[in-house]
Amino acid sequence: MMVYYGQASWDNVNVASRKAEDADRHGGLFMRWLRISLLLTLVLTGGGLFTQTVAAQEKFRYEITITNLTRGQHFTAPLVVTHKANLRLFAVGESVPQQLAVFAEEGTPTALAALLAGMPEVKDLFVTAGAPAANTLLDPGKSATVAIEGNLEFDHLSLAAKLIPTNDAFIAINGTPGPPTDKPTTMFVPAYDAGSEQNDERCASIIGPTLTECGGPGGGGHPGGGEGFVYVHNGIHGVGNLTAAIRDWRSPVARIIIRRVNDTPAGPPEVDL
């Protein structure tokens, strides 16, 4: 059935039709805008969270190179750990944790490693078990490199190693942020005194596989009477058996270079000692 309209009626139909088309067009534009807005919201919220999660799981290595800058001190194999930003091994001016005191006095990191391994803030741990042996010491002027795993959540490092021969001196980096790129970070660190025993500098009190002044291994006794807090060590003064002219220092004792390497290998941490 065909319907014919007069001119006036046709004009009204055209107006009504144009209004309907305009409404459809504006409605379509609104719906497209709404869909785009929803997609942007997903990208900026859910998509952003997904990106952050993937980034947090990204793995890389930190390569830590330690150089012994002293003339007559040796470093034990270091304990190195990657962890979250809120962890510290110690605080200068406060009493040292007992596990770190044992490491600083005896050169044995086992107790400290066990403490750290049980913490949820810790990602990866490198440690050499047992008492220090001559073939594991870092001699004056020598360097060693340790590699350990990290990611964007566990992106801080701590390190400790005992100085031999001393009563309770150690080197450390303490909650240092790892470099965010492949540009290395270089630090010159002092020796710290654990404050857990007095610095009598006597063979009977100092651990060591071979000490020239002692004619052999040190005794490793515990004289007690420490200062009770961690401070920057003031060196060897020759008050006991140690020869200050050889064993003393007056400046940073170690250079530590941290590099970030993105091609993390499978397997345990690497070490070059």
Each residue's pLDDT tens digit, 230-266: 999 999 999 999 999 999 999 999 999 999 998 645 4
- DSSP secondary structure, 114-175, as one string: HHHHT-TTEEEEE---SS--GGG-B-TT-EEEEEEEEESSS-EEEEEEEEET-SSEEEEEEE
* More reliable by pLDDT, 156 or 9: 156
pTM for the predicted model, two decimal places: 0.77
pLDDT at residue 58, rounded to an integer = 75
What is the three-class DSSP state of 53? helix
CB 236 within 8 A of CB 113: no
* CA 120/CA 124 separation, integer angstroms: 11
pLDDT at 193 over 60: yes
What average pLDDT does this structure show over 95-99? 97
Helix (H) or strand (E) holding 52: helix 48-57
pLDDT at residue 28, rounded to an integer = 54
* More reliable by pLDDT, 46 or 252: 252
pLDDT at residue 35, rounded to an integer = 46
What is the three-class DSSP state of 264? coil
pLDDT at residue 258, rounded to an integer = 98
pLDDT at residue 170, rounded to an integer = 98
% of the chain at pLDDT higher than 70: 75
* CA 116/CA 132 separation, integer angstroms: 20
Sign of CA dihedral 219, 164, 101, 123: negative
pLDDT at residue 247, rounded to an integer = 98
Encode pLDDT of 123-156 as tens digits. Answer: 999 999 888 999 999 999 999 999 999 999 999 9
Mean pLDDT of the chain: 83
pLDDT at 30 over 50: no
The vertex-232 CA angle with 206 and 120, nearest 5°, equals 85
pLDDT at residue 263, rounded to an integer = 66
Instruction: Give the pLDDT band (50/70/90) at residue 41.
Output: very low
Alpha-carbon Rg for the chain in angstroms: 33
% of the chain at pLDDT higher than 90: 68
pLDDT at residue 223, rounded to an integer = 86
What average pLDDT does this structure show over 161-190? 97
